[in-house]
């Protein structure tokens, strides 16, 4: 977990499977912004959500329809829309970025890698703000 400019809290999760290939590959690490603005339209966003009866953790798929009350999702690699409707209360967060699985091979704890990434984002953001 990392604090970015004291405004956002990120949570990491490791991917399994190939339903989101090539966006994610098996073993990639996702940085997720918990509790997104559920009142905004999430179409096109990749969300993490919990599905009742699915005991393997959270699912991360792209929103293809947001009607305000629920969303429909689809894995980027799949040729079909997921068969379930996800109530917005089931949404854990929105995927902000993906660290490739090879980044986990660095012999450092993942919180150090994520911390360095967050500091880099803050520095780039500040540099970009000074140019304006």
pLDDT at 93: 85
**Tens-digit pLDDT profile for residues 72-125:** 999 999 999 999 999 988 888 888 878 777 655 555 555 566 666 667 666 666
| Helix or strand holding residue 31 (H, E) | strand 29-34
Name the average pLDDT for the chain. Answer: 76
pLDDT at 121: 64
Locate tokens 């290939």: which residue?
Answer: 21
Please choose, from the candidates 101, 108, 107, the residue with its C-alpha nearest in 3D space to the C-alpha of residue 16: 101
Residue 85 contacts residue 70 (beta carbons within 8 Å) = yes
Of residues 106 and 68, the one with the higher pLDDT is 68
Architecture of the CATH domain 9-105: Ribbon (2.10)
Residue 10 contacts residue 96 (beta carbons within 8 Å) = yes
């Amino acid at each position: 977990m990392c604090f970015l400019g004291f405004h956002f809290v990120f949570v990491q999760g490791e991917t399994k499977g190939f339903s989101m290939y090539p966006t994610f590959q098996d073993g990639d690490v996702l940085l997720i912004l918990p509790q997104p603005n559920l009142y905004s339209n999430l179409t096109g966003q990749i969300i993490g959500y919990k599905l009742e009866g699915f005991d393997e953790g959270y699912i991360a798929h792209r929103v293809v329809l947001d009607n305000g009350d629920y969303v429909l999702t689809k894995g980027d690699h799949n040729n079909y829309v997921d068969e379930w409707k996800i109530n917005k209360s089931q949404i854990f967060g929105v995927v902000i970025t993906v660290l490739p699985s090879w980044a986990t091979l660095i012999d450092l704890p993942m919180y150090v890698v994520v911390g360095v990434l967050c500091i880099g984002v803050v520095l780039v953001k500040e540099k970009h703000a000074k140019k304006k």
